[in-house]
Structure 1
Amino acid sequence: MSRLHSFFAPSAVGLACRCAIALGCAATLATPALAATDTAEIVPGERLSAWLQRQRTGQNSYPIGLQWYVPEEKPDQHALKDRITRQLSALRADKAPTGISLSRWVGALPVTGRAVVGNPDDRWLQANPDQDPVLQPGQRVKLPPRPTTATVVLDDGALCQVPYRAGVMALDYLRACVEDPDQRDIVWIAQPDGRTFRYGAGTWNAQAQNPPAAGAWIWAPARSSGLPDGFSDDLIQLLATQGLAADGAGRPVGAPPESERSISASRQRDLPLTASDWGEIGLLQTPTARMAPAGETRFTYSHIQPYTRATVMLQPLDWLEGGFRYSQVSNQLYDPSLVISSQSYKDKSVDAKVRLWKESRWIPELAIGARDLGGTGLFSGEYFVANKRTGDLDWSLGLGWGYLGARGNLRNPFGLISEQFDTRPGSTTTGTTNNKAYFRGPTSLFGGVQWQTPIKPLILKLEYDGNAYEREPFNNPIKQRLPVNAGAVYRYSEAVDLTAGIERGNRAMFGVTFHGGLDTLAQPKLLDPPTPAVTDRMPAGDPAWSRTAADIEAQTGWAVDAISRRGDTLLVRLSFPRAAYLQARLDRMTAVLHRDAPASIRRFSIEFSEYGMRMGGKSIRRADWVALHTQGLSPAQRSEHNIAFSNAPLGAPTAVQDRDGQMLWTSDNGRLRGGLSPSLWQSLGGPDSFLLYQIGVQGAAEYRVTSNTWLTGGVNMRLLDNYDKFKYTAPSDLPRVRTQVREYVTTSRFTVSNLQLTHAEQWGENHFVMAYGGLLESMYGGLGGEYMYRRRASPLAFGVDVNRVRQRGFDQRFDFREYEVNTGHATVYWETGWNDLQVNLSVGQYLARDRGATLEISRRFANGVSIGAYATKTNVSSAQFGEGSFDKGIFVSFPFDAILPKSSSANGTILWQPLLRDGGAKLSRSQTLYGLTNTRSPRAFDYRPAQPAD
């Protein structure tokens, strides 16, 4: 199901009774359906909830169809109607009968000005005053009688009315009105309350859907109608403004052919997407072309002797799936000599799948993908796979290479291009991309079917497997009785799937998958102080401004430096405006200011600064902000009042104290602040133990020397760990700048992670510089400087950092080792605006004196969570770099605001790095100018907590 974004609400004006144009009658617009219903007078300034309480709503009234007419909505609705008629006029050349008829009908529809109401219940509106409209002169409100039909708009503009029946789906109403319902793949519904929906209705794209309510409009043109893209979305929005489809306004037909008990289950279900044994969306051993929605993440654990697999899969884009996996081979040793380790063999792998095109009625969905993209390639395989859905059955057919095509019963089709494709070379290295083997060697077909059973949580799978298990890695043949696998998935909950099956004809398999949307992470802030209630009342005199400042800091976590007044404007200067959800904190701050500021204050001007550097500002029109938070507004009204927030011009650094202003309060906060927090460090997949961890407590403190100069320090106490198992030091042909990590994490339980003096300044409006020195990170100390050019609201920024550092002692106290190096990078930061992607490119010299570039690409969702990957290639050869060939990793970054019950400005990052090597290693600085200037991002105030599903 997808709900259409609407600027228009379900208007109560119905369509007049008209003859069906298809029958040759002239189209005339009759009196609106509710003309016979008296409209109670509104009292300007009263709430809609009060108007509703004054009405005598009998049993025949229909509150869900409440109609609120707002003159300000008409211009946008005129523009919508004009756009629809222009689209129809372009059809006249080759679609004259339909185009002209539908155009005449649309042209006769009135522009009503109807706007949506959040919930037409007086008690609900009183409990939610920000959704309760304040009625104004020129507005009208109607409460219609309960309708008895739902109306289907036919392709030519004729109306077909069908008696309403509870629970009946849109397709059933279509079947009562058209002879070719199977030619209509998508259905649009305008519900009586003004919400509009778009659903897949064919056997190949069916979606779970809510049934139309009485008085709903239904539109589902035939796929051969030739209507332009976007036309139907616009039309259903216009129909929503017409209000209820009036009884008797079209050709009546009998009841829909199916009752709610006999509706085919396939028309009410979304296609279930489940993980394979390997973690990607698939059947059991084989992938499919299906993709989860963007933001989805999965952890799959599966076991079939002798393999146990743990896979993390991420979906950064609708058409891209990727992740990493650890595979344990229980009958093979990690170190056959038993010198390093006695654990069983673990194999790391990276997967990717890209959708080439989406499914349509006749064309299957097609994807290309690869498992185990690099390294030893023990399980590497590439594939093309296609999927086609028929109701509750989802069929897949693919062509596999490598592990997926090891049965080799087909010749490689690419062999027609070159004989080199007939042979698949092996690999003896780890951590590298074995691109010379891609799509080479024999191939095999694979595929199968997934069936959504009538028991909704149960899904059955059957597949043909293209692998040949007699040629497993390590010369470890596995007996296979049948090339057919069968299994079942039980959807225990929305987030947990349990899988069991019989594979190879002789082995039981079981697995569990935990899945959910990173883009839906949200947590109510139950431990935050309550936000002041917003009313239209304002105090007459000045408050105790020290209390106002304290409440702002409690609500936002930001430091208030000063509060002053200039005329009817209250100016507030803030330091450290850090958070994922800046707008939410700005609203909480404004609620405090509105509660305390005298009525003579009409505007709030907010200035943000970081260590004395001016980042930007917001100017807030008080009356507009109050209207946004105290009454329900129509879309046009909301758009008008949204100018409450605008970017404020930056004045001089002392603008808040200028001679024309009156200083009300200045901060006397101490210069020292700090706190304690838990610490966690972990490593996966090492030779000593699959999981190495340390849990401890860390302390951080900051002392402000001046507004632009500060001293930071951090310490860590390791409390619980298993690093007694960490005995292996990786070999290296480069200076050991990172591979001595074992020595750093095991030498001392108490460490000083950071002790740094920093000075920052702003040169002009857009130029920033920073100098720093001390213990810069856990392994290095020294001196450095950074310059950045960053304009406000610009998607581009540029920075350069230069550092002279020396390696710290293993105990991470105050002694140093002999190794010294110059390191630094020039970096371009680009917020592309395409699919919320951020691209960062750094070029420079790394800690091992190698030179090269790092490319980082990430996608940040609306709730602030990011999924990304990076790769670094330098001028050292693959042989000199060592195992892995080049540095790379996958990360998920998230604001703690999304997961904690108390607001936090901190962020967390989960990084998966296949191998830690010395090449391509950057200095890990605790603060960067790009991070400090975050409020200059064009999207800085766009991120918000994820909302519950509608």
Structure 2
Amino acid sequence: MTKTTRVISPSLPLPALVAATITGLATVGTAVAQPQQLSWGYNSYGVPGLIDMPQAFSREDAEFATQVFHFKNQTRINTTFQIAPRFSATFRYSIIGKIGSNQRTLYDRSFSLHYRFLDETRYRPAMAVGLNDIVGTGIYSGEYVVATKTVTPRLRATAGIGWGRLGSFGSFSNPLGALSSHFKTRQAPNIGKGGTFHPGSWFTGPAAAFGGIEWRATDKLRFIAEYSSDAYRREDGLDFNRRSPFNLALAYQLNPGTTVTGSYMYGSEFGLQFTHTLNPRRPNFGPGRDTAPPAIEPRPTGAEGALVVAPDDAQLAGTISSALAAQGLALDGLARHGKTLQIEIRNERYSISSQALGRAARVLSRTAPAQIDTFAITLARDGMPITTATLSRDDLESLAFHPVAPDLLRARTQIVDARHNLPRVAGSYPVTSWRLSPYLTPSLFDPVNPLRADLGVALHGKIEPVPGLVFSGLLHKKIVGNLDKATRTSNSTLPHVRSDANLYYKTNGVTVPQLTAAYYFRPGRNLFGRVTAGYLEPMFGGVSAEVLWKPQNSRLALGAEVNRVRQRGYDQLLDFRNYKVTTAHLSAYYDFTREIHGRLSVGRYLAGDYGATLELDRRFDNGWRIGLFATKTNVSAAQFGEGSFDKGIRLTIPLDWVTGKPSRTRLDTVIRPLTRDGGATLNVPGRLYDRVRSNQATTLDATWGRFWK
């Protein structure tokens, strides 16, 4: 898998799990898991559970966890996200040694789902249903229904029934066979190249019971014992002997986010698991380490105010510009209309726009002439005006220390679309900036090598000669890395638009991953436009044009993009290869809830194929984003190759969440089980949706509390 940025209807109706999942997602942001419903840990597959077996409780809502587990020729690297209070998903990369008659090593990628459909009560246990390895080779394929009951505050008991791999030891006739003969026999699915759903085999075939207990001896120390229904048929006898169905483990919490678990597995082997968790809602430094905002200063009134001579616009702009610069903001435009002062600002520091808005309002309270009653602050990005917030100076002053100031001030603040730039302030353009920083380009979960990466130095530069016109470039110099060490040669029958990615990292010299000219503009009310030309990404260059319709308070946004591009030379300098293609997409964006956002795009992809991409993200107010995506085109599974269709996990971490210091920098990573050519999209810098939405009323409302920070 390379680091690049970027449902099939089953043959049988999905179980009630799917409907429950949709319901669970719809309640994100309002439903809250009760403390007694929280699991104490994760099992070796990354699922809330015991040692190898699952249990019924869930983890804390929005928790993001990584685990590394190893025992006798098996290593599992799990990434789990608690998508909703009841629902979690796990991506797993496994390295299994000595499989099959040829004693080969298997590198496997798989997904699991876990849903708690009943809460624990005084007399009733919590209950959950789960699916393992639902889109993969099927080596871990299995389903379960499990119940867990809290016996005492420190003792829990779990019992469940499993199918597939979890029904392979101590099995009995499937009780669901009483409903239909379909459930009696489990047919081996035709997995082909992997990456496809096989719902017809879910909950079929022999079943088996499993169970276990957990005892928290102290707040940090936990003892676990379980009876496993997994026969380990693929692995047993191949340098590993399953002698017993019983597993024992000792888990110790090193700190609130880190747990180490040692286990004795199946009567013959020892295992070790490392688990680290974090929650996007809890930054490393709590409220942050940014400087205190300037105090709101009441204006002089009465005779005192009447004696103050109002400065002219040039003097006023100079005063405001200096004060804004101290807050990491730039003044681009200014105008006065009667008792209203309008300013246009460029936010260079804060990842949350409502905080930039609040800092600007505080500055105006201290610098605006006494005759000004109203502040109108326009937020712009790349010289493109997006939003104007208009508020009363009297409200700002009177509510500064009110216990519910955010709610009251927001109710009295008008937020509208900003169509036009304000008159330019002298010296505001041209804008130039540059920075030197380290870069890391990872490749995760490759079928042969799970971790490859290049580390080096990056030089970023940007020039904005006039509002909306941006020239930017990026230079890389690799210092150390192994992205060029990929051993697999692409066998794709499609144009090699992504599968030759390793060839772009062969050089040790300076590369030019990006060199572009972009123009941002407002073609109409609620409309935003962008045209970008140049070397758009490491593998393609050309021209990209985009238009977006996004009203201030609308859950729905619509976009269109067309690109005419040519494949770049492998040295990532200025030359091109022969392959040319035109791609185009129509996109619909929709906010299902405050945190759950979806996007559906249909159109033509880099390999010339046609299809659709479905994305589902959970976005947090502080800038975190965790999402899933899948693309299906007219390329067949056989043509696509291993994996059958493009899919993956997208992760965005704001740097200020990590450091506590204000920053607009984000760390973006996409985890793909495999990078192929079908469904490949162009990675164009500066796309409109995130730029626009982060500065509109929808986002400002959700983060309005930061106005006062």
Provide TM-score, normalisation by structure 1.
0.65
Shift of 1:627: 3.2
Q: 1:620 to 1:666 in 2, by over 3 A?
A: farther
Amino acid corresponding to residue 203 of structure 2 in structure 1:
F
Residue 377 of structure 1 contacts residue 427 of structure 1 at CA under 8 Å; is this kept in 2? no
Shift of 1:308: 2.2
Residue 528 of structure 1 contacts residue 555 of structure 1 at CA under 8 Å; is this kept in 2? no
Q: Secondary structure at the match of 1:591?
A: helix
Shift of 1:561: 0.8
Residue 443 of structure 2 contacts residue 483 of structure 2 at CA under 8 Å; is this kept in 1? no
Q: 1:932 to 1:518 in 2, by over 3 A?
A: closer
Shift of 1:430: 4.9
The alignment status of 1:550 with 2:301, answered yes or no, reads no
- Partner Cα distance (2:458, 2:671) in 1: 22
Shift of 1:936: 5.4
Q: 1:315 to 1:696 in 2, by over 3 A?
A: same
Aligned ranges 1:480-491 → 2 under 5 Å: 480-491=242-253
Deviations 1:837-887 (A, max 9, x none): 101000001011110000000111232211110000001111011100000
Q: 1:335 to 1:807 in 2, by over 3 A?
A: farther
- Partner Cα distance (1:870, 1:836) in 2: 16
**Percent identity of the aligned residues?**
32
Deviations 1:608-635 (A, max 9, x none): 2334533111112223223333x243x5
What number of residue pairs does the alignment pair up?
Answer: 663
Structure 2 match to 1:494: 256
Structure 1 match to 2:511: 751
- Partner Cα distance (1:649, 1:924) in 2: 28
Structure 1 match to 2:449: 689
Amino acid corresponding to residue 450 of structure 2 in structure 1:
F
The alignment status of 1:432 with 2:192, answered yes or no, reads no
Counterpart among 414, 420, 441 of residue 646 in structure 1: 414
Q: Which has the larger radius of gyration?
A: 1
- Partner Cα distance (2:68, 2:487) in 1: 28
Deviations 1:274-325 (A, max 9, x none): 1112221101110111111221011112222232222111112112111212
Aligned ranges 1:232-311 → 2 under 5 Å: 273-311=40-78
Counterpart among 63, 83, 88 of residue 321 in structure 1: 88
Deviations 1:96-152 (A, max 9, x none): xxxxxxxxxxxxxxxxxxxxxxxxxxxxxxxxxxxxxxxxxxxxxxxxxxxxxxxxx
Structure 2 match to 1:447: 211
Deviations 1:44-97 (A, max 9, x none): xxxxxxxxxxxxxxxxxxxxxxxxxxxxxxxxxxxxxxxxxxxxxxxxxxxxxx
Counterpart among 371, 380, 399 of residue 609 in structure 1: 380
The alignment status of 1:854 with 2:613, answered yes or no, reads yes
Structure 1 match to 2:181: 418
Amino acid corresponding to residue 277 of structure 1 in structure 2:
S
- Partner Cα distance (1:816, 1:926) in 2: 19
Aligned ranges 1:757-772 → 2 under 5 Å: 757-772=517-532
Q: Secondary structure at the match of 2:360?
A: helix
Counterpart among 201, 223, 229 of residue 460 in structure 1: 223
Shift of 1:701: 2.2
- Partner Cα distance (2:211, 2:117) in 1: 18
Structure 2 match to 1:18: none
Q: RMSD of the alignment, in Å? A: 3.0
Aligned ranges 1:190-269 → 2 under 5 Å: none
Q: 1:784 to 1:284 in 2, by over 3 A?
A: same
- Partner Cα distance (1:891, 1:525) in 2: 26
Q: Secondary structure at the match of 1:277?
A: coil
Residue 801 of structure 1 contacts residue 826 of structure 1 at CA under 8 Å; is this kept in 2? yes
- Partner Cα distance (1:570, 1:650) in 2: 15
Shift of 1:419: 4.4
The alignment status of 1:503 with 2:265, answered yes or no, reads yes
- Partner Cα distance (1:434, 1:206) in 2: 34
- Partner Cα distance (1:520, 1:421) in 2: 47
Residue 107 of structure 2 contacts residue 448 of structure 2 at CA under 8 Å; is this kept in 1? no
- Partner Cα distance (2:613, 2:600) in 1: 6
Structure 2 match to 1:400: 162
Q: 1:650 to 1:728 in 2, by over 3 A?
A: closer
Structure 1 match to 2:274: 512
- Partner Cα distance (2:323, 2:70) in 1: 54
Q: Secondary structure at the match of 2:60?
A: coil
- Partner Cα distance (1:778, 1:789) in 2: 29
Residue 161 of structure 2 contacts residue 167 of structure 2 at CA under 8 Å; is this kept in 1? yes
Deviations 1:755-797 (A, max 9, x none): 2222333222122333232212111112232222221221111
Shift of 1:441: 2.5
Provide TM-score, normalisation by structure 2.
0.86
Deviations 1:685-708 (A, max 9, x none): 335533211011222222234323
Residue 222 of structure 2 contacts residue 250 of structure 2 at CA under 8 Å; is this kept in 1? yes
Bigger fraction of residues in strand: 2
Residue 619 of structure 1 contacts residue 647 of structure 1 at CA under 8 Å; is this kept in 2? yes
Shift of 1:727: 3.2
Aligned ranges 1:111-122 → 2 under 5 Å: none
- Partner Cα distance (1:672, 1:359) in 2: 59
Q: 1:652 to 1:861 in 2, by over 3 A?
A: closer
- Partner Cα distance (1:458, 1:854) in 2: 45
Counterpart among 305, 326, 330 of residue 559 in structure 1: 330
Q: 1:653 to 1:308 in 2, by over 3 A?
A: closer
Q: Secondary structure at the match of 1:548?
A: helix
Structure 2 match to 1:698: 458
The alignment status of 1:933 with 2:692, answered yes or no, reads yes
Structure 2 match to 1:472: 234
Structure 1 match to 2:140: 379
Q: Secondary structure at the match of 2:325?
A: helix
The alignment status of 1:877 with 2:636, answered yes or no, reads yes
Give the stretch that moved more between structures: 294-303 or 598-607: 598-607
Q: 1:652 to 1:488 in 2, by over 3 A?
A: closer
Counterpart among 783, 787, 792 of residue 543 in structure 2: 783
Q: Which runs of 5+ in 2 are unaligned?
A: 1-31
Q: 1:302 to 1:743 in 2, by over 3 A?
A: same
Amino acid corresponding to residue 367 of structure 1 in structure 2:
A
- Partner Cα distance (1:689, 1:626) in 2: 60
Q: 1:503 to 1:746 in 2, by over 3 A?
A: same
Q: Which runs of 5+ in 1 are unaligned?
A: 1-198, 208-269, 338-343, 658-664
